[in-house]
Amino acid sequence: MNMLRKCAICLCITFVFALSFSVVPLYAQDSDVPHGFAFNDPGNFKEYPHFHGGAGTIRYNEYWGADGYKSAQEFIRLIELPPKSSIGEYRLTDSDEVIVVMSGHADVTVNGNTGRLVEGTMVPVKMGESLGIYNSTDEVVKVAWTASVLNKGQYNTVDLGNDLTGNRPEDMIPFKHIYYNYLIFEPSGNPSHDGLGSLVSTLGIVNFDYFKTGLHTRFFVVPAGASIGYHTHVTNEENFFIFSGSGRATVNDVTLPLKPLDCIKCGIDETHGIYNNTDEQLVMFFTNQPMPGVKNWGTVKNHGENLAGR
């Protein structure tokens, strides 16, 4: 009996070990995200209590940091602010920054003035100005956040000691903000990089000469069945952050589906494009950062592929 019991125990141990050994490589393979893609994964968020002297604890997932860029782009992040939490007010000393309310309503303070912003609103904040965000609602607020610096490797801010919980929104929003839904051009009729159809751009473009860092940003829409053709940026780096809708992106010959809060990055001499293979429009928050000394869009190489066949 003892011998049978020992054999049974050994068999169980062997089975469990074999099962765990077979599962681990599969998990590691599934979690290996290809270069240039970042997905909204709840497991990648980290907690930051009293961020910039703010209230409560926020969470954020840094899709790419400074090491992910050759240009002066510093980071791109997705922030979650639980109810009654905030990013305390801080002054930008070396950076230009842009935030976009991706879901919910946020009380945003710029230079001491507070406005309540709905989802789909972008706020560009210049170097030397101050910024903070408070979630006064009972729902989680999600915000996309990006920064570029004047000199790569130098990112510093100064906390102003205000957690913003005492600020109240003003009747009129007293700072620059862009709400994509009200500021849309008609399609231009020109394909983008040999793609299908044409994009819909917004009136509220933050052009290359707005920031000291040269960061360019806007909302734009890829209509159903349209695409941004396959192309390479030789001198500029780009991010495409999905606000609403879905589609698929190709980065360096890897094609994957995109959904809201996913993001792709195309670095120097890397190749990318986006195809909207759905029946709904695909809305994106977009950034373009030139390398030092490069003006505007720099050098682009089109590859004559609309990506519909991928």
The pLDDT of residue 201: 78
Residue 153 and residue 83 share a domain: yes
Residues 39-68, mean pLDDT to the nearest whole number = 97
Residue 190 and residue 99 share a domain: no
The pLDDT of residue 6: 43
Residue 139 and residue 96 share a domain: yes
The count of other CB atoms within 10 Å of the CB of residue 102 is 25
End-of-domain residue from the set 179, 204, 232: 179
Distances (CA, A) of 205 to 2, 74, 181, 270: 78, 21, 13, 24
Place of tokens 């992040």: 77
What does the alpha-carbon distance between residue 73 and residue 69 come to, in Å, rounded to a whole number?
A: 6
- 184 lies in a domain? yes
Show the CA angle centred on residue 155, arms to residues 154 and 159, nearest 5°.
Answer: 140
Residue 92 and residue 195 share a domain: no
- 70 lies in a domain? yes
Confidence of residue 58 (pLDDT cuts 50, 70, 90): very high
User: Is the pLDDT confidence value at 10 over 90?
Assistant: no
What does the alpha-carbon distance between residue 293 and residue 170 come to, in Å, rounded to a whole number?
A: 40
Residue 66 and residue 110 share a domain: yes
Confidence of residue 182 (pLDDT cuts 50, 70, 90): low
φ/ψ (deg, to 5) at 122 = -105, 140
What does the alpha-carbon distance between residue 133 and residue 276 come to, in Å, rounded to a whole number?
A: 33
- 189 lies in a domain? yes
End-of-domain residue from the set 179, 212, 238: 179
Residue 132 and residue 122 share a domain: yes
Q: How far apart are the first and last CA of the chain?
A: 62
* 231-273 tens-digit pLDDT: 999 999 999 999 999 999 999 999 999 999 999 999 999 999 9
Residue 104 and residue 71 share a domain: yes
Domain enclosing residue 82, as ranges? 43-179
- 14 lies in a domain? no
Closest CA to 132 of 120, 143, 121: 143
- 56 lies in a domain? yes
Domain count, the chain: 2
CATH of the domain at 123: 2.60.120.10
* Structure tokens that stand for 194 in this block: 């040999």
Q: What percent of the chain has pLDDT over 90?
A: 82
Whether the CA torsion 132, 285, 105, 57 is positive or negative: it is negative
Residues 217-229, mean pLDDT to the nearest whole number = 95
- Give the max Cα distance, the chain: 84
End-of-domain residue from the set 149, 179, 209: 179
Residue 57 and residue 84 share a domain: yes
Residue 50 and residue 170 share a domain: yes
* 102-160 tens-digit pLDDT: 999 999 999 999 999 999 999 999 999 999 999 999 999 999 999 999 999 899 999 99
- 34 lies in a domain? no
User: Is the pLDDT confidence value at 21 over 70?
Assistant: no
Residue 50 and residue 87 share a domain: yes
- 7 lies in a domain? no
Entry pTM: 0.88
Residue 124 and residue 202 share a domain: no
Closest CA to 145 of 19, 59, 270, 37: 59
Q: Which residue has better confidence, 291 or 12?
A: 291
- Residues near 223 by beta carbon (within 8 Å), at least 6 away in sequence: 187, 197, 198, 199, 200, 276, 281, 282
- Residues near 10 by beta carbon (within 8 Å), at least 6 away in sequence: none
Residue 174 and residue 184 share a domain: no
* 78-88 tens-digit pLDDT: 999 999 999 99
- 309 lies in a domain? no
